[in-house]
Amino acid sequence: MSKARVTVVDYGTGNLFSVQRALDHCGADVKMSSKTDDIVAADRLVLPGVGAFADGMKGLRDRGLIEPLLQFAATERPMLGVCLGMQMLATTSEEFGQHQGLGLIPGRVRQVPTQAVNGEPNKIPHIGWSEISPASGGTWKETMLENTTAGTPVYLVHSFHLIPDDPAHLLADCGYGGHRVTAAVRSGAIVGAQFHPEKSGKEGLKMLTAFLRL
Amino acid sequence: MANVRLIARLDVKGPNLIKGVHLEGLRVIGDPQEYARRYYEQGADELIYIDIVASLYGRNNLTDIVRHAARDVFVPMTVGGGIRSSDDVRDLLRVGADKVAINTAVVKRPELITEVSRRFGSQCMVLSIEAKSRGDGRWEVYTDCGRERSGLDAVEWARRGIELGAGEILLTSIDREGTRKGFDAELTRAVASAVSVPVIASGGYGEPRHLAEVVSAGADAIAVADALHYNRTTVPQLREAAQAQNIPVRAV
């Protein structure tokens, strides 16, 4: 069987090596690229990223990658945004001002609640392992979570999260201080993970393997 | 309450995993890669690498160690020791680190905290505080691997570090480090109640009850070093011990 091919978008931010290594470990043929042609023609695409929203969007804009990403998304081939790469799928973000995102999953990126439901302070950033559940009874079938059991802990590190306009786009969430925080979103073949599958141990690798089979 | 993270801490010198007491009297334990892989396989929530002599010699040899580790380790890695600039941080992130822990360089130049957090996000900038009790209910920050006094009060420095942009604190008690006498719960309580970011307690793990002591003092994560290196405990045993004391940890 030939290796599943995946293109990881290199836009000058984030830690690409970990994503590359994890996909490699899962048996993928990984290509890192910031070229329009590679992105538009990719079999499947990963948009990684850590850091601030505005910097991430600027990285994409400066390299002329916004249009190619939108073109790729229109092909309905599998696409995975991770952490900041997930947040940039949204319409707007409120991190350090108002910023435009890619608009692939209508919604807003907002701050994780700084206060728990019981009134105690929530530590921000939210760092650590949280158990993810299917949001509002939605299904994980035909997504990278299809082999994952509800309640599986994954690694998150973030201060903001994406709230989709359409609740049907919420794929998974997790609890933090009594609030529900977005863990993953989905619209068609586009999935965004707030958590880091590449840093979520064996369960995370299982998700990446499932993504490579989509 | 969020899950408490169980972290394996690996102090390295040159190519070796080492361990000391009070950050001194270093002994070679073995190949850090072998130990890192073991802890990942055992289900550690995170790994911390500290090059404990790097700041003394003004060098940074962690890049190779991290690059190797990133091949087999698919949990977060925090790396520290000898980091002096945001370009040093970039180099470590490129080879697979997720966060950096900085002590000496930010005591000398606190603006570095802001530079790193602006460039890579506050979640990436871990303020490493190595503190020693002054005996009057306060703790002093030490730099250069516990050798140099800074004159800074640990709690005030933690507060300032967060204002400058640090997203997490790695809090090492020099008094307890390597002693197996338990974490410095008072130090942990003083720092954790002063800041709004997660605090990793490090130094002193000896037996299971020490976990509950430091968690009730406010620790969000616990770093264990020699107890793991010398096989006095394992990550699954720590996890079971935590669960037995009703400390929330992730199920593996």
Instruction: Write out pLDDT tens, residues B62-117.
Output: 888 899 899 999 999 999 998 999 999 988 988 899 999 999 999 999 999 999 99
Contacts of A205 in chain B (CB under 8 A): 74
CB–CB of A199 and B75 under 8 A? yes
* The pLDDT of residue B120: 87
Tokens of B173: 């008690």
Based on DSSP, count helices (H) and strands (E) in chain B, helices before strands: 11, 12
> What is the model's pTM?
0.94
Three-state DSSP at A207 gives: helix
Domain positions in chain A are 5-213
B194 touches chain A (CB under 8 A): no
Half-sphere exposure of residue A128: CA atoms within 13 angstroms, side-chain side = 30
Domain positions in chain B are 5-244
β-sheet with A107-111: strand ranges across: A99-100, A92-93, A107-111, A160-164
Contact A158, A50 (CB under 8 A): no
Three-state DSSP at A37 gives: helix
Closest residue by Cα to residue B205 from B185, B220, B186:
B185
- Residue B173: beta bridge partners? B131
Dihedral class, residue B138 (left if φ above 0, else alpha if ψ from -120 to 50, else beta): beta
Contact B188, B133 (CB under 8 A): no
* The pLDDT of residue B121: 86
Query: Of A83, A99, A126, A158, which residue is the catalytic one?
Result: A83
CATH 3.40.50.150 fits B5-244, yes or no: no
What digits encode the pLDDT tens for the residues B115-148? Answer: 999 888 889 999 999 999 999 999 999 998 888 9
* Omega of the bond leading into B110 within 30 degrees of 0 (cis): no
Instruction: Please give the interface size between A and B, counted as residue pairs whose CB atoms are below 8 Å apart.
Output: 99
B168 is catalytic: no
Question: What stretches in chain A show pLDDT beneath 70?
Answer: 1, 14, 137
Which residue type does B115 have? Answer: E
A15 touches chain B (CB under 8 A): yes
Separation CA B18–CA B157 (nearest Å)? 28
Q: What's the ipTM?
A: 0.92
Tokens of A154: 């994954």
CATH 3.40.50.880 fits A5-213, yes or no: yes
Tokens of B224: 């264990």
* The pLDDT of residue A136: 74
Say whether pLDDT at B59 is over 60.
no
A126 is catalytic: no
CB–CB of A176 and B2 under 8 A? yes
When comparing pLDDT for B54 and A102, which is higher? A102
Contacts of B200 in chain A (CB under 8 A): none
Separation CA B227–CA B17 (nearest Å)? 14
CB–CB of A21 and B96 under 8 A? yes
Tokens of A149: 């059991």
Contacts of A198 in chain B (CB under 8 A): 74
Contact A161, A194 (CB under 8 A): yes
User: How many residues make up chain A in this entry?
Assistant: 214
* The pLDDT of residue B58: 54
User: Which residue in B70, B119, B120 is closest to A18 by CB distance?
Assistant: B70
Residue of A nearest to B117 (CA): A51
Alpha-carbon distance B137 to nearest alpha carbon in chain A (angstroms): 25
Alpha-carbon distance B252 to nearest alpha carbon in chain A (angstroms): 8
Say whether pLDDT at B1 is over 90.
no
**β-pairing, B168-173 with B125-133?**
parallel
Three-state DSSP at B100 gives: strand
First-residue to last-residue Cα distance in chain B: 18
CA torsion, ordered B64, B68, B69, B73, to nearest 10 deg: 150
